[in-house]
Structure 1
Amino acid sequence: MTTTSTAELIRAAGLRVTAPRQAVLEVLTSVRSHPDAEEITSATRERIGKVSHQTVYDVLAAFERADLVRCIEPAGASAARYELQRHDNHHHMVCRSCQQIFDVPCLGAGAPCLHPDDAFGFEIEIAEVLYWGRCSECRATEGEPAAAAP
């Protein structure tokens, strides 16, 4: 993603374009992982030099409110993780060994792909699913055979 594209996305979200905002958005568009705020801060500093942790947290909070990023907070994780908000109705798998988070497409026809028995009057918009287990790489290094593909 180019700097112009990030500036346009930030403006379209109703936010003022700043160097830290552009750099954070560039970081998130350049990775497929789900970095935490510390990783985002380090990568942002590589792009623009000095930037405080608080500035990065403020940018992430503004982006989350503007629906530019999605915060993932797996139970027991040491830190919240972030990804671009793609509105593609995907879920996540978390490896218990390496803590890596993988995107999992939802097999349902539309959002949300899960519905509660009783919606209590809610109009359900999204269902978040977290799968926990161990990734094939960790299983291989721990001496267990990888699961056969379906």
Structure 2
Amino acid sequence: MENRTCGAPALIPADHSREALGDLAAPCSLTAGHSGDHGNGLARWEASPAKPRSLGTDPNSGKTIYAVTEPGGALERLADETAVMAAATLLGVMDDVLEAGEATEAELAAFVPVLVESLSEVTEVAARTIDRIPLDEPEYGPAARALRDALRCPR
């Protein structure tokens, strides 16, 4: 049985070159399908760079504020709250659009990427939140555990 390695490329900073980094720039040498960060024996790097998340809109400038959040931190909680509020607003808009029954297929199709992104983010929020529910308490029972498992189901 062959032991395959992950082979994910090392992240090369913009001000460096692969040649200058030498062995530090070697691809991931961990077993294929591993979880967590990548590593090559000399360096470690994130499996995927963290995506900046919306924290809402600056009331003075009207611009959206983004931050890379730390798991469990105050900014993550604010970003989670913002994502849920945005999804609720989007749901209200879509409900009005569908109820009016006047949107064309092209107009409805334009909402699909926004809906998918919103649903994806809210699902991630729900998956993190469900971890805080004490699933061993009888009142939550099998329904809460089934929800937790469904939220963790890979796409």
Q: Which has the higher contact order (CA 8 A, sep 6+)?
A: 1
Is the pair's TM-score, using the shorter chain for normalization, greater than 0.5?
A: no
Larger helix percent: 2
Normalising by structure 2, we get a TM-score of 0.28
